[in-house]
A and B are shown apart, each in its own frame.
Chain A
Amino acid sequence: MERVILIKYGELTTKKGNRSFFVKTLVRNIEQKLKDYDVEIEQDLARMLIHFKEEQKTEILTAVQTVFGIHAYHVAYQVPSSLEIIKEKVLETAKQEKFTTFKVEVKRNDKSFPVKSMDLAPLLGGLLLKNITGIQVDVHSPDVKIEVEITPKHTYIYYQAYQGLGGYPVGTQGKALLMLSGGIDSPVAGFMAMKRGIPIEAVYFEAIPHTSLEAREKVITLCKKLANYTDEIKLHIVPFTKLQEAIYQNVNPNYMITIMRRMMYRIMDNLCQVYHGYAIINGESIGQVASQTLESMQVINEVTKLPVIRPVACLDKLEIIALAKKIDTYETSILPYEDCCTVFVPKHPVIHPTLEKCLSEEAKFDYPPLLQETIEQVFTLKITANNEKTYQDLL
């Protein structure tokens, strides 16, 4: 009996008009994800089927678990839609399961099928009761729910539902650029943005020699972890040293962080124009540090007209940490390397900055040429999830 992976779309079901675009994007994403496996994908507007080789099942299920836009999936037995065969196969497969209480649920997508759902469920239930000893029906909290889904050609029998990641398929929204530091919050922000269907490119500000190459490696690792949920993520690296040193030399220490963030936002704004990003995404969380008070956000945000999306803005640190653990970025994020925001930290960064003061601080030095120079030196790495190893030949 062939087994297939039966995928149910998530929030997609609400997108009446765009449905086929969403489904196409999802199919493309799944195909991309499974390109190294021997699979065949079929889909209609209600479900998708992946025909797979039994020996690759575990890997394929793991991959499916990383695709946004999948609400739930099942490993289902696919049988011809004939009453006799359905009866025989439900009994055969039920005998392989271990349970004492059960419930049969029938969905009849093919209304021409001779038996109604309401009649078929008790028919199948009765068949099981007669042939398997020691089991009974429990419609409220059964050990197993045996689901039978009838379509014109095939019927699918499955026993277990796996929960998918939900959200929208990546690529159903416009692109955005993520400010990715080495911390805990920004990878989570990136994950949450992708969940809404946004393809992201990451931007990392580094200040070598004040920050180390290890810090960059750490960000690359984080990018790989995020790339696991899509295909490839571009990582733009901004050499920020000169600009940061100029800020350090010229700006009142209390305003250093605020001005630094304004410079970063200016660079983000520029990179969004270059790389066609519709928004800036970052891991700011309200009140977490001085530059993340609402007053700070307001004066920092002032340098760009782009929407700045802050997916974790209203989450507690513990909630963010829980998400970071879930997406496996936490262990990497807590590695102790300095990043741009932790070198040159003033003792008392301003919590309630004003725009006038920001402007007067910025007037103290000729930053536009430095900004220009920094942007010109940005370079890009392409990061893929498959752990492409640098030293594969040795291992």
Chain B
Amino acid sequence: MKTLKTILLGLALILLSCGDEEKKEQHTITSDIPVSREMLAELTAPPNVPTPVGRRKAKKLIVNMEILEEEGELTDGVKYVYWTFGGSVPGSFIRTRVGDEVEFTLSNHPDNKLPHNIDLHAVTGPGGGAESSFVAPGHEKTFSFKTLNPGLYVYHCATAPVGMHIANGMYGLILVEPEGGLPQVDKEYYIMQGDFYTKGKNGERGLQPFDMQKAVDENADYVVFNGSVGALTGDKAITAKVGETVRLFVGNGGPNLVSSFHVIGEIFDKVHVEGGELINENVQTTLIPAGGAAIVEFRVDVPGTFILVDHSIFRAFNKGALGMLKVEGEEEKKIYSGEIREGIYLPEGPGIQNMPTTDEIVESEIPAKSFKEQMKFGKQIYMQTCFACHQAEGQGIPNAFPPLAKSDYLNADVNRAIGVVVNGLSGEITVNGNTYNSVMTKQMISSDDVANVLTYVYNSWGNSKKVVTKKMVDDVKKK
């Protein structure tokens, strides 16, 4: 009886300890993680990412990806034939958790010209899947792999010529979340840098073919986020609210250039260095290798527009590597005051002072109330803006600038004269029997001023004594 008791006790203990182990469910060998049930993977186009894995168990995850070769816009007026995974550059974002068995089907659209394949850096196996996924147009290939290492990984096409396939946009990101998922945040986005090589220079219009020589020389015409200049600016900017934590999954497809990823006006609270497990804190700029990735996280504390750049800065401002994060919410003056005061700084000795220049037309402060005032103000304008060419008595300069005095061209059509002042004039005209072929730039003066100066001109030097009103000028402007 006693022995039975001890045996029972022992059994109970064993059972207890077994239970403990099961509760932890920590699989140190990730290849042993069992999968339950099947699930169709949600794929998203940038800058969106699929729903976090959260606490879900490892599953058989079905990924169906289609390869499309299609024309898109690299920047305004510049077309480019992109080769894409899922119709976007970068390709669709794939979100998995460690232990998932991914059944991957790669379909090559029949319209495509070329065979393709996929090398996922998250795959443990020869070619990262490239060997098993090499697929001709109009066909599909399926292979399967188990995600063993958590992290953020690049995938890309690895068909010869590999550089060209990548340069044309064949890259994207696959995330393998750890058990239990990444910590929750408020906003998540998908951003991937890539360099492009076109036959024409940056900005040269039309359909631009890939330039092999420039790619070999690593002389990029465009360096962009998410496949085109402006893919993340203006209306397409990513957004957040003050107080939210933002997580960016940032990849770099290359093919050649390494990214110095930086957000102007933010400090990364956390960076998963190179997309792996190591976390660095308080980072200004993080290096993202071609064919590599990083996860960056930061809380946005103040409103405004934050600019995402490759801090190899000419790429940002001259080649397109620029995106925007727009943050809305209450100002937080303690953290960022905005401009407090403006002063004039005069260094010792003679400084050169320049008049500020502006394109804005300032309305004249005092509208002319009478013909007399119109003449007075008009003369002032004339002496400031017209005098240099048309001269003090409206006589002009022979062969260069036509006369305004007794001018048949001027007197024939008052609306035309207003138009010339407002819009400028170039090309050949005949005035009083002489031809002139020159350029008058449009005058940046207010409608009042145009009315005044023309009234002055029409009522001087033997002209037709017309009176020009502000309304007449505005009517011409509206045409």
| Interaction A to B | no
